[in-house]
Amino acid sequence: AQTVTQSQPEMSVQEAETVTLSCTYDTSENNYYLFWYKQPPSRQMILVIRQEAYKQQNATENRFSVNFQKAAKSFSLKISDSQLGDTAMYFCAFMSGTSYGKLTFGQGTILTVHP
Amino acid sequence: EPEVTQTPSHQVTQMGQEVILRCVPISNHLYFYWYRQILGQKVEFLVSFYNNEISEKSEIFDDQFSVERPDGSNFTLKIRSTKLEDSAMYFCASSADRGRATEAFFGQGTRLTVV
């Protein structure tokens, strides 16, 4: 079974600075996908960024980028130029290439951006 | 922008009672999911549903749980005889596809409290 671990329950950052959220996972599979989801207070989870395991290039989406280290089974999220609207719970998630879309989540990291 | 909607946002029920949680997925999506999050714990997969049948279910999804798509728009989760430990936030999600890192869209959740 796959597991996903986020070791930082809470993080904080000043507006306009950069922050990195950590995620590690454990799997014996070679074909899988990794995701970061954001859940603002009282709102639904939305996808921030995704990474296919077969791609060596790290995914980027505007201010969000990942550092995908397949051998180390690490998948960290970097948020550059942090904004107040980035304040949210962030979930790292794993999806097997053989599943029917099932996501395995980490515990989540609460990120607070301070003005 | 299309979104997944869940009703009610909060439901309180007595132990042993049946409860139905409702979800309206995004209209052109074909894959549907339920997840739950017990307070302070990880978001956990319950079940995935496609073509009017369960595709995959977790060990949590035992005989007291059932899912249904009764009318082509709603997707429901029924808990037959609720227990105290069923108290959790329940999230519905839908996706257009199940693989290739397809984005799952989540609802805001229904907080179920069993007393």
User: Residue A100: which of B66, B31, B68, B34 has the closest Cα?
Assistant: B31
B95 and A107 within 8 Å at the Cβ level: the answer is no
List the single best residue of B5, B10, B39, B43 to mutate versus A (max A Cβ within 10 A).
B43
Distance from CA of B22 to the nearest CA of A (A): 15
For each of the domains in chain A, give its residue range(s) and CATH number, in order of start.
3-114 (2.60.40.10)
B12: Cβ contacts below 8 Å, ≥ 6 apart: B113, B114, B115
Architecture of domain B5-114: Sandwich (2.60)
DSSP state of A112: E
Residue B101's pLDDT is what?
58
Give B73's pLDDT tier (boundaries 50, 70, 90): confident
Whole-number pLDDT of residue B100: 59
Mean pLDDT throughout B54-60?
94
> Under a CB-based contact definition with an 8 Å cutoff, are residues B58 and B6 in contact?
no
Do B99 and A97 make contact, defined as CB atoms within 8 angstroms?
A: yes
For chain A positions 10-49, those within 8 Å of chain B (CB to CB) are: 33, 35, 37, 42-47
Q: Do A100 and B4 touch (CB under 8 A)?
A: no
Q: pLDDT band for B110, please (50, 70, 90 cuts).
A: very high
- Which pLDDT score is estimated for A53? 93
Q: What is the DSSP string of B31-43?
A: EEEEEEE-TTS-E
**What tens digit of pLDDT does each residue of B1-41 get?**
789 999 999 999 999 999 999 999 999 898 999 999 999 89
Distance spanning both ends of chain A, measured CA to CA: 41
Q: What residue ranges do the domains of chain B occupy?
A: 5-114
Exposure string (b/e) for A80-101, b if CB count within 10 Å is 16 or more?
A: eebeeebbbbbbbbbbbeebbb
Confidence label for B98 from pLDDT (cuts 50, 70 and 90): low
pLDDT at A70 over 90: yes
